[in-house]
Amino acid sequence: MSEAGSNQADVVVVGAGISGLVAARMLQEVGLKVVVLEAHHRVGGRLLSKTLPDGSTFDLGGQWVSPDMPRVMGLIRELGLTTFEQHNSGRIDLAVQPLSSMDQLTQAEWAWVKAQLDFLVESVNVEKPSATPNASALDVQSVEEWKRLNLDSPYLRNLFDQIIRTEYTIEPKDFSVLHLLYSLKSAGGFEGVLGLERGNETLRVREGMQTLCTQLAEQLGDTLRLNCQVYDILHDTQGVTVIAEGLSVRAERVILAIPPNQVTRIDFEPVLPRRRTKLMQRLEMGSVIKCFALYDHPFWRHRPATPIDPDRLLFDDTIDATPYDERNPALVAFIGGDDAVLWSDKPFEIRRRAVLEDLALVFGEEALYPRLYFDHDWLTEPFIGGGYQCYAPPGVMSAGFEELRLPIGRIHWAGTETAVHYYGYIEGAIEAGERAAREVLENRA
């Protein structure tokens, strides 16, 4: 985008993740002049793929989709990308003592807890969580407190903690029951998100998830500007002025497609309503490190994993991460929650050794000797600061969480945290981008 053409636009989109890019393309397709400003040197946001010299691709960020996600599946088909099934081996869930081998009392306790969660999930108002029956009571209680009241078995408590850290990259103490129920309702219920089969994690993209963003960016052309961090947004009844390093763009409207925890780095004039600012300040990003180990052959597919207490392990989950071409058999391990914060400060070699030693506890000595090891620490990712999504500590959801998606004058909001369905997923990010673009178009009519 030339400097001379950078001063005027119909709409500015801040953030070149999947949500912002989808919104920008929708607006550009109907003839609007759009400028996309991205603070980072790349597009994709929380979608980041690593391609090896031999062409094998690994997703360091968002990794899965499912046939039940119409928007992302439609975009994958439109862009000519290829999905393939996730190989269900290399799972720690399969290495811990299976529920089917537990005594009947423990099995009954787990079934009862699932039924309790399913019952509570049904009552959640996903469009307006604060209108959920007993919202305040559900919101002041942490997931940790709920677990201790509803689970007696030490094994099931540990399993529950492991699943929470795997799916939300936070500790049960860190977020409210209402937030858990809301996220479950928005993504299809207990089995799709927390069930051992992980119904929302069935497909991967052969070319890498970030390809969704790089191809959208190519379609947008020179309307996209990288390394362009926004510092100030001036807004009035006539329009907005978006100010970045060496650049000022005047537009009718702006869409902010960045995580809520990053919005607070921007100065607004006039300031945003205090209630909204406070809400975004209280939302925190989860913590996760994704660790990849590549081997000569997928030995974990052909021998049973060693049953082990998950509390003994550094990571909370592992799964087969072998690419479509099978050239680089791989395991990926997820360090989440407080452990991710702790190990983020460790030197790479110490972290590498610890991950491989724990993989060997589960999958045998062969796991100690990968051909290649690499990891991605999302806590150090500029302009994101964690993953997978922002969460609401106790007391936040019932104080107007749904307002995150409401326009403020000529300022509109996208990003997966503003989605109604599939909160925290790629599908939710696309939904939010489409909704924000529609808001802009409806307000121009």
Q: Which residues are annotated as a binding site?
A: 19, 38-39, 230, 334, 417
118 burial (CB, 10 Å; 0-12 / 13-18 / 19+) is middle
Q: Which residues of 226-253 are buried (b: 16+ CB within 10 A; e: fewer)?
A: eebbbeebebeeebbbbbbeebebebbb
Instruction: Please state, in angstroms and rounded to a whole number, the distance separating the CA atoms of residues 378 and 178.
Output: 26
Q: Is the peptide bond before 231 cis (omega within 30 degrees of 0)?
A: no
Contacts within 8 Å (CB) and 24+ apart, 322-327: 322/87, 322/298, 323/56, 323/57, 323/58, 323/206, 324/82, 324/84, 324/204, 324/206, 325/55, 325/56, 327/54, 327/55, 327/56
Within a 10 A sphere around the Cβ of 341, how many other Cβ atoms? Answer: 15
Angle at CA of residue 388, ends 134 and 186, nearest 5°: 40
The phi and psi torsions of 375 (rounded to 5 degrees) equal -140, 165
Contacts of 162 (CB under 8 A, 6+ apart): 92, 96, 310, 316, 317
- With beta carbons less than 8 A apart as the criterion, state whether 314 and 165 touch: no
| Sign of the C-alpha dihedral computed for residues 170, 172, 175 and 181 taken in this order | positive
Packing angle between helix 154-168 and helix 177-186, nearest 10 degrees?
60
Instruction: Please state, in angstroms and rounded to a whole number, the distance separating the CA atoms of residues 289 and 387.
Output: 9
Instruction: Please state, in angstroms and rounded to a whole number, the distance separating the CA atoms of residues 369 and 150.
Output: 42
The helix (run of H) or strand (run of E) holding residue 101 is: none
Torsion angle, CA of 8/14/15/19, rounded to 10 degrees?
-100
- CA neighbor of 289 nearest in space, from 323, 333, 347, 350: 333
| Tokens at 216, concatenated | 């959208």
Binding residue ranges for FAD: 19, 38-39, 230, 417
Binding residue ranges for substrate: 334
- CA neighbor of 225 nearest in space, from 40, 382, 383: 40
